[in-house]
Amino acid sequence: PETQAPLLRISALTKRFGGFTALDNVSVDIRPGERFGLIGPNGSGKTTLINCISGAFRTEAGTVMFRDEDITRLQPHMRTRRGIARSFQIPRPFKSMTVAENLMVALDFAAVTGEIVSAAQRRDTMMSILTRMGLASKANVSATKLSQVELRKMELARAMATHPKLLISDEAMAGLSSSEVDEVLDLLMSLAGQDITIIMIEHIMQAVMRFSDRVMCLDAGRIIAIGTPTEVMANQRVQEAYLGT
Ligand code: ADP
């Protein structure tokens, strides 16, 4: 419902690089459980916005509230512990390690200091995530042996290992075949729900359309449209922004 408190509230966010304004007074609320698509032509500010949410960038002005807490000044790893997951914020996967070992690194990364969890519990958690991600049979396989689509799933599994409330999927489908795109899309749809809100940045419009409850389109650091996928795709400014690139 509209009255529900937002999970993420971005207010009047501005980010500059020198004299260049990459994000210009962006405000948006993302609701709990929402499937939120973020689109815009190259250079429109999508990655910058995600960096401001994950904490990789400091902002010049504006605030980021997550679950009613002002996280504007929090370090990235503290945001991970609050429940914001962007897969490559976790230390990069080690190719020489198995899928299971890679997941263990992510589990440790997100673990709250002082929390005591037995090895058996950790293994159970890891296996349940791998099962959910369709990777259980790959647990003991070296990451070097994975296909492209399996690697993308492992990255998402690593993000899931941090127990996110907000999962940011940053072009998880780029370069995949259309059947693989569907596979990753189905996986993301199955993860989304009351407990997990997903922001998906994607260039593949069919995927954004199918996935999103709402879509937001950025252009030159500003929100030019926000609404249902149908509304946003029909928006003239959106069409012009894409034609102009
Ligand atoms: P998108 O993800 O939509 O392609 P970005 O957020 O990566 O766009 O970039 C938005 C604008 O900000 C671009 O013009 C880009 O060149 C600029 N930009 C992004 N990151 C930096 C940076 N670290 N230093 C300077 N300029 C940057």
Residue that is last in its domain, among 132, 161, 190: 161
Q: Are residues 15 and 29 in the same domain?
A: yes
Same domain? For 203 and 114 the reply is: no
Dihedral over alpha carbons 228, 233, 237, 240 (to 10 degrees): 160
ipTM of the complex: 0.97
Domain boundary pick from 108, 137, 161:
161
Confidence of residue 49 (pLDDT cuts 50, 70, 90): very high
Q: Say whether pLDDT at 89 is over 70.
A: no
- pTM, whole model, 2 decimals? 0.92
Q: What pLDDT is recorded for position 208?
A: 94
Query: What is the total residue count of the chain?
Result: 245
Q: What's the pLDDT at 66?
A: 98
Is residue 126 domain-shared with residue 205, that is, in the same domain? Answer: no
pLDDT at residue 96 greater than cutoff 90: no
Kindly state whether residues 180 and 225 are assigned to the same domain.
yes
Does 211 score more than 90 pLDDT? Answer: yes
Ligand 1 geometric centre to CA of 122 (Å):
38
Q: Are residues 19 and 130 in the same domain?
A: no
Statement to judge: residues 174 and 156 lie in one domain: no
Give me 211's structure tokens: 């996935």
Which tokens belong to 175? Answer: 């370069």
Across 71-98, average pLDDT: 84
Ligand 1 center to 233 CA (angstroms) = 23
Q: Are residues 31 and 149 in the same domain?
A: no
Same domain, 143 and 185: no
Query: Does 107 lie in the same domain as 73?
Result: no
* Angle separating helix axes 178-191 and 148-160, nearest 10 degrees: 10
Name the residue with the closest Cα to ligand 1, atom 13: 43
Say whether pLDDT at 113 is over 60.
no
- What pLDDT was estimated at residue 60? 86
Three-state SS for 193? coil
Share of the chain above pLDDT 70, in %: 93
Confidence bin at 105 (pLDDT 50/70/90): confident
> One-letter amino acid identity for 159?
A
41 lines ligand 1 (CB under 6 A): no
Over 70: is that where the pLDDT of 224 sits?
yes
Task: Determine which of 33-37, 70-74, 189-193 has the lowest per-residue pLDDT on average.
Answer: 189-193
A 10 A CB-CB count for 42 gives: 8
CATH code, domain with 194: 3.40.50.300
Please check whether residues 53 and 150 belong to one and the same domain: no
Q: How many domains does the chain have?
A: 2
Two structure tokens written together for 189? 């749809």
Which tokens belong to 122? Answer: 């950790």
| 243 pLDDT higher than 80 | no
Residue 242 CA to residue 245 CA, distance in Å, equals 6
Q: What is the Cα–Cα distance from 245 to 43, expressed in whole angstroms?
A: 10
Residues 84 and 174 in one domain: yes
What's the pLDDT at 62? 97
Indicate whether residue 47 lines ligand 1 (CB < 6 A): yes
Residue 231, classed as helix, strand or coil, is helix
Same domain, 150 and 181: no
pLDDT tier at 108 (50, 70, 90 boundaries)? confident
Residue 166 pLDDT greater than 80, yes or no: yes
What are the tens digits of pLDDT across the range 27-41?
Answer: 999 999 999 999 999
Write out the DSSP string of 94-108. PTTSBHHHHHHHHHH
Last residue of a domain, one of 135, 161, 187: 161
Report which DSSP code applies to 142: B
Q: Is the CB of 46 under 6 A from ligand 1?
A: yes
Residue with the larger pLDDT of the pair 121 and 185: 185
Name the DSSP letter for residue 137.
Answer: G
**Residue 140 DSSP label:** T
- Which carries the bigger pLDDT value, residue 188 or residue 89? 188
Residues spanned by the domain of 141: 91-161
Asked whether the predicted pLDDT for residue 115 surpasses 70, the reply is no
